[in-house]
Structure 1
Amino acid sequence: MTGQVRFGYKASAEQFGPAQLADYAVLAEQAGFDSVFISDHFQPWRHDGGHSPAAIPWLGAVGARTERIILGTSVLTPSFRYHPAVVAQAFGTLGVMFPGRIVLGVGSGESLNEVPLGIEWPDMKERFARLKESVQLIQQLWGEDRVTFEGTYFRTENATVYDRPETPVPIYIGASGPAATRLAGRMADGFITTSGKPRTLYADTLVPALAEGLDKAGRVAGDVDTLMEMKVSFDDDPDRALADTRFWGALALTPEEKTGVEDPIEMQRLADALPIERVASRWIVSTDPEEHVRRAQEYLALGFRHLVFHAPGPDQPRFLELYATEVLPRLRALVG
C-alpha cells in the first residue's frame, strides 16, 4: 500500500450519523477518492449535534456498498474498550469480506472515550505499553494458530482467529509524539498523524522518529505507509469556509485545556469559548484550490504519501464535488 501517493476522505463520525456518513463514503468513491477513514469514538467532541457511530459495523456496511475504495480507522483504541483479540477477530472478518481494502488504524486512546465506561485512565507510559502489547497480540493472532499470550496487560490461552485473510490486514499506528511514531516505524504497516500543527513537529520530531524506528527494525521508508489527515475547509465563499470550522473547535484546545475533560458538554463549552480565528488555526481555510495544493505539497515534501482530507462543513456532498473537481486533479498531476 506504500508504492503510490493516495488521496482519501475522512468520514466525520463525530459530526454525522452512520447512515448519512455511509452515503458520503459512497460519494467519495464515486468522486475518485482512494480511501475513506473513520474515527472510532465512544463519545463525540461536542454534545449538541454530535455523533459517535461504532466504526466496526460501519466499515462492514460501507464495504458492502462500495467496490474498490480502501476503508480503515483513524484511529481505534485496541486496549481499553476492546480486547485486542476481539479487534483481531473483527478486522480479520472485514479483511476476508473485503480483501485488500481494510486498514486497522490504532492509537493509545483518549479519556473522553474510555473513562465514561468506568475505566481508570492511566498515564501515557502505560497507554503506550498497552498499545504496543495490543499490536503484538493482534499480529500474532493473525499469523499463528492456538496463541497463548502472556503479556503485562493481556492474556490468551490457545486462542485462534479462524476467519482471517490470507494477507493480514495492515496495521497503522496513529501518533503525535516521537515514541509512538518510532513504534510505527518498528512494527506497523503505516503511520497516521494530523495536520495543522507547527511544521517543526513534523520535520524535526515525527519524521526523524519514524526513520529511527525503521532503522532499528532494519526496514526502509517504503515499508510503511505515511498518512496525513489533512484538515481543509474549501468553499467559494470565504465566510462560509471560515464559519464551517466552528463545529470542530475542540481540536484547537491545547492538551492542557483538554486534560481530564471526559464530558462532551464540557468539551463543547470550552471549544465554543474560543475565538473563530483560533478554531480555524488547525485548518487550511481557503477559497483558492492552488492554495490547497500548495499546502498539501508541503506534507508531500516531508514524505507523506497518503493524504486524507477532513472537511468541517455540514454540506459534505458539496465538499466532495468541489475537491474532486478543483483540487484532486491538480494534486494527481503534481505527483504524476
Structure 2
Amino acid sequence: MALRLGYKASAEQFGPKELADFGVLAEQAGFDSVFVSDHLQPWRHDGGHAPAALPWLGALGARTEKITLGTSVLTPTFRYHPAVIAQAFATLGLLFPGRIILGVGSGESLNEVPLGLTWPDGKERFARLKEAVLLIQQLWREDRVTFDGTYYSTDKATIYDKPEQPVPIYIGASGPAATRLAGRIADGFITTSGKADTLYRDTLLPALAEGAGKVGRTLDDLDLLIEMKVSFDHDREKAMHDTKYWGALALTPEQKSGVEDPIEMQRLADALPVEQAASRWIVSSDPEEHVEKIKHYVDLGFRHLVFHAPGPDQARFLELYGAEVLPRLRALGV
C-alpha cells in the first residue's frame, strides 16, 4: 500500500477560519489528507481554540477539490447521539464523495464533564464506543432501524440521504481492546507517535491483526494511520521551543487523568521543561535526519502518516514540509 501523507489541523490551537486556510494550503502543498479533532474545550485556556469539527469539515470540503477530510478523533457517545453522527457524516459523504472519513474514539473527560455528563470508567466508554459504531453502520446500511442497545436506542429511524460510497470508519486506540475492535469492525486504525516501540510492535499491531483475523481480514485490509508529532524547522532551537504549546501531550496519563479544566491542564503543561515537552515530538532541522526518524514508523507498518506540527506559523511548516519532506517520503517507494 502506497504511503498517504496527511496534515493534522490543530483545532485546539487555531480558530476556524485560519484553520480552514491551512487546510487549503495543505492541499496545495501536496498533502493527501487533513484530519481535525472534535474538542469542546482546548488543552489550554489562554490562546486556546475549539471550533466544531462538523461545520468546519463542510467548509473545508467546499474550498478544496480532492484532499481527504476526516476526524481524528470525534467521540460519538456522549455529546452526540450516534444517529446524529450517522446523519452528519452521510451528508458530508454526499457533498464530498470519496473524501470523508469518520474517525472515532472513546473520548476524554475534558470534553464531556463540563456539560454535566458523568464520566464513566474505561470499560463503559469502550462498550459505548462499540455500540455507537455498530449503530452508525446499521443506520448507513438499512432503513427504519429499530435498535435496542445498552446505551442507545432508535425506533424505526432512517438516514434518508446516504452516500453511494460508504464513509469509512476509523477507530482511534492506545490499548489492545479498542485496537482489536478496530480490526474487527472498522476500516482503519488511528494511533499517535512518540511512544515506546514495544507498544506498537508488541501490543497494538498484534491486537489489530487478531481482531482482523476474527472476521477473515488482515492488516492489509485496513488503513493504518498514525498521527506523527513533528517539529521541523531550519532553526533547531525554534523547533524545540514550538513544542511548549503542546506540553500537555507529554504529561503522563496519571498527571492528566480526570483533569476537566483547561486552566489546570495548561498549568500542568507549562510546568514542564522544554526537553520534556519535546519528548513526544520528532524535532529536527535536517530533512534527511527527519525523514529517517519518520521512516521508523513506516517500517513498523504504518502507511497513512498525518503530521501534526506544534508551532504558530503553520503556513511556514506546510511550505517547508511540502518542499523538503514530502518528496523524500514519497521517494521511499513504499
Alignment-mate amino acid for residue 252 of structure 1:
A
Q: Which residue of 1 aligns with 2:277?
A: 279
* DSSP 3-state at the match of 1:334: coil
Alignment-mate amino acid for residue 312 of structure 1:
P
* DSSP 3-state at the match of 2:14: coil
Q: Which residue of 2 aligns with 1:65?
A: 63
Displacement after TM superposition at 1:4 (Å): 2.6
1:96 to 94, 102, 107: 94
* Deviations 1:197-224 (CA, angstroms, capped at 9, x unpaired): 1111111111111111111111122211
Pairwise mapping of residues 114-153 of structure 1 onto structure 2 (< 5 A)? 114-153=112-151
Structure 1 gaps of 5+ residues are none
* Deviations 1:86-145 (CA, angstroms, capped at 9, x unpaired): 000000000000000000000000000000000100000000000000000000000000
Displacement after TM superposition at 1:189 (Å): 0.3
Q: Which residue of 2 aligns with 1:80?
A: 78
Query: Partners of 1:90 and 1:223 in 2: how far apart?
Result: 26
Alignment-mate amino acid for residue 34 of structure 1:
D
Query: Partners of 1:50 and 1:257 in 2: how far apart?
Result: 20
What TM-score do the two structures reach when normalised by structure 1? 0.99
Alignment-mate amino acid for residue 30 of structure 2:
G
Query: Partners of 1:120 and 1:99 in 2: how far apart?
Result: 37
Alignment-mate amino acid for residue 151 of structure 1:
G
* DSSP 3-state at the match of 1:228: strand
| Percentage identity across paired residues of the two chains | 78
Displacement after TM superposition at 1:242 (Å): 0.3
Q: Which residue of 2 aligns with 1:56?
A: 54
Alignment-mate amino acid for residue 144 of structure 2:
R
Q: Which residue of 2 aligns with 1:168?
A: 166
Alignment-mate amino acid for residue 145 of structure 1:
D
Aligned alpha-carbon RMSD (Å) = 0.7
* DSSP 3-state at the match of 2:211: helix
What TM-score do the two structures reach when normalised by structure 2? 0.99
Query: Partners of 1:80 and 1:275 in 2: how far apart?
Result: 35
1:231 to 229, 240, 244: 229
Displacement after TM superposition at 1:276 (Å): 0.7
Q: After the TM superposition, which parts of structure 1 deviate over 2 Å for at least 4 consecutive aligned residues?
A: none
Structure 2 gaps of 5+ residues are none
Q: Which residue of 2 aligns with 1:5?
A: 3
Displacement after TM superposition at 1:259 (Å): 1.1
Alignment-mate amino acid for residue 240 of structure 2:
L
Report how many aligned residue pairs link the two structures.
334
Q: Which residue of 1 aligns with 2:19?
A: 21
